[in-house]
Amino acid sequence: MEVIDKNNFDKLIALNNSHVVKVIDEFVTKCKPSKVTVITDSKEDIDYVRNRAVELGEEARLNLKGHTIHYDGFFTMTNHDQARDKENTQVLVPKGQKDSYPWINTMEREKGLMEIMEIMDGCMKGHECVIRFFCLGPKSSKFSILALQLTDSFYVAHSEDLLYRAGYEEFKTLNGSDDFFYFIHSSGELTGDPPVTKNLDKRRVYIDLKEGRVLSVNNQYAGNSLGLKKLALRLGIYKANNEDWLTEHYFIMGVHPKAKSRVSYFCGAFPSACGKTSTAMLPGQTIVGDDIAYLRIWEDGYAHSVNIERGIFGIIKDVNAEDDPVIFDALTTPRETIFSNVLVKDGTPYWIGDGRAIPDEGFNFSGNWNKGKKDIDGKEIPLAHPNARYTIRIEELNNVDPNLHNPDGVSVHGILYGGRDSDTMPPVIESLDWEHGVFLGASIESETTSATLGAEGVRQANPMANLDFLVLSLGKYLKNHQKFGNQLDHCPKVFATNYFLKNKEGKYLNGILDKLCWVIWAEGRVHNDYEAIETPIGYIPIYLDLKTLFKQYLQKEYTEEDYVKQFSIKPNKLLDKLDRIETMYKKEKDVPKFFWNLHKNLRINLKNLQKEYPMEEISPISLKK
């Protein structure tokens, strides 16, 4: 490695790990950077990364101290590098297994490696490669997995300093072991000012389960380039589901009910742009994490969970002072923050739905922007991309939970599953038991949004909000969930939420902050504070309990009319949903028996309910006995 000087080579040797050196040697030789810099946990090294991102133009400073702006590649509103690239994200599987998993985008391993290694040959020419070391999860914890990252993007490296715990010193504790994930990334050839990836047609993100690694090239958008995020999620899912624990697309939050001297920790899975981060950031509650969690069975009989991250890479669209006060305050005050793909005018960032007066011109991901600007296809370019993001440390937030870095994690009392459903599911229901809770999670449906490339507004199934990231069969995944819960002495209660229910005129039936009352009700159910109405799809709240919660937490009246509109059971819609679930899961060969038993019984119970109440919508008032 002629491109690495003695000082940086000595940093590698200090790790006393031949496996690390072998990986670095292989990919430095392959990618051919002009320089290699090894980053330790020191402030000096980490500051170097942040400053170089600005010097190279990958980020630019904004008015407020610590704030920078980054832009990802853009050609048109349908051809860009500003969302996850599902088509070119492939899981590499052994020859003969390509068709084993119908919901996984797979490629034969040898073929995929041959292709991407060819694309990566010389991909870092003229670039500086930084070697990074991180810890997925709290330090000195049996939850945690170490991660090695090579990248030629200082934006990527800077983002990881905000999102993950430093791990150089942790690597020394491996004592020469190869028990770590590794991630190779290159933005490839760059063009323009600011510099963005040029060859999006050669964008590739390949997950190699056999080697516990991800190879990613010709992209910058963090969902495709940050190895430790959704790419490490896939590796974690594979590892966990072969070792009797869980890796999930979960937030972790502390729920603090008023007039109660307790905190109950909840996990929750929502597809992108479905309210996941805003739930984790609800006023008066505390946040442990907003995206990815590891769960293990603990000595106290509970499931314990940790956030593998220390930061948030959040969708910024519709973050405003009224609906998301904690996040908005953090984004509009000095602290280390990276904005991506938003409008900048006179050093101030603006985004869609921020509640402020928006300038008619400025600079955004398309270059110089003015209101009404269109791309070459004639499609109007918004002031900020709908999937524009912010990156910030959780410690910078005033609602950070004190257990963020607890090596033992937090005990999980409840799990929330939610999707984007305009006409079927009520705002909140409680599962009948753990296995029914697994069924609810497996039945999540969501209308597509701008967070992934492709058409918007299409209803898709998304089990546990994890379908995009699964690297094993759905059957095995569900069996492992069933087994995990049944091994617990104190099993979490499971809830399904839906913040996007609409009336026939297309108007939302829920206020944006109403979710606070749904979550507080769920927390109360964990502690048997509230009675509930049993229905075929689960337990629903009693009106008077919600009326009290709305008054206590939101200072607003919650009418019986609102309650009836939101919590009426719709057998025809629910039976249609069961048909869609059946169609999907019949494509899987090893779906567990408990799932089909629940599916069958739910269909029978809904049809019996139809006979008893022959109407399109059954009022919850009628069901209360």
198-212 b/e (C-beta count within 10 Å ≥ 16 → b): ebbebbbbbbbbebb
What's the token pair of residue 380?
A: 């109007």
- Of the candidates 240, 241, 200, which has an alpha carbon nearest to the alpha carbon of residue 224? 200
Please give the distance of CA 555 from its chain centroid, rounded to a whole number: 31
Q: Are 359 and 351 in contact (CB under 8 A)?
A: no
41-70 b/e (C-beta count within 10 Å ≥ 16 → b): beeebbebbbebbeebbbbbebebeebbbb
3-state secondary structure of 340: strand
Q: How many CB atoms lie within 10 A of CB 486?
A: 11
Phi, psi of 100 (to 5 degrees): -75, -25
* C-alpha–C-alpha distance, residues 360 and 595, integer Å: 53
- Of the candidates 407, 393, 381, 318, which has an alpha carbon nearest to the alpha carbon of residue 162? 393
The tally of CA atoms less than 13 A away on the side-chain side of residue 310 is 22
* C-alpha–C-alpha distance, residues 364 and 385, integer Å: 9
By 3-state DSSP, what share of the chain in percent is helix, strand and coil, each rounded to 5? Answer: 30, 25, 40
Residue among 123, 135, 267, 274 flagged as catalytic: 274
CA dihedral in degrees (495, 500, 503, 507; nearest 10)? 150
Does residue 274 have an active-site annotation?
yes
Map tokens 């600079």 to a residue.
363
What's the token pair of residue 502?
A: 């609409």
Residues known to be catalytic: 274
